[in-house]
């Protein structure tokens, strides 16, 4: 079997965010350079424009109640620094 028989593999990039629309847009434009699929979950407390941008640009978008923090683990790190 040669390499020609190996199926192509794509890259899906997933994120959970409560970023500003401007920050999310910069990140998405960077990720589109190498990702075949972009999946974004937006915290429901994010600005409305953040969710609208994610729905417009991402391949898959969801809005979830995350309590204002995309990753609570960062709280521990921020407090202990």
pLDDT (tens, 9 = 90+) of the chain, 81 residues, equals 556 676 677 999 999 998 899 999 999 999 999 999 999 999 888 889 999 999 999 999 999 988 766 555 555 544 433
Cα–Cα distance between 47 and 42 in angstroms, integer?
10
62: left (phi over 0), alpha (psi -120 to 50) or beta: beta
Q: Is residue 75 part of a domain?
A: no
Q: What is the pLDDT of residue 38?
A: 97
Q: Give the integer Cα–Cα distance in Å for 63 and 51.
A: 7
Which residues form the domain of 46? 13-70
Count: domains in the chain: 1
Kindly report the pTM of this predicted structure.
0.74
Q: Please report, for residues 12, 22, 25, 36, the alpha-carbon distance to residue 9 in angstroms, rounded to integers and kept in the order given.
A: 10, 30, 26, 9
Helix (H) or strand (E) holding 22: helix 21-31
Question: Does residue 5 fall inside a structural domain?
Answer: no
pLDDT of residue 6: 63
């Amino acid at each position: 079997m040669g390499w020609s028989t190996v199926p192509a593999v794509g890259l899906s990039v997933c994120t959970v965010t409560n970023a500003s629309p401007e920050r999310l847009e910069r990140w998405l434009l960077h990720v589109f350079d190498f990702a075949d699929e972009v999946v974004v979950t937006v915290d429901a407390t994010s600005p409305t424009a953040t969710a609208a941008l994610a729905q417009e640009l991402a391949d898959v978008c969801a809005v979830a109640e995350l309590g204002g923090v995309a990753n609570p683990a960062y709280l521990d790190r921020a407090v202990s620094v």
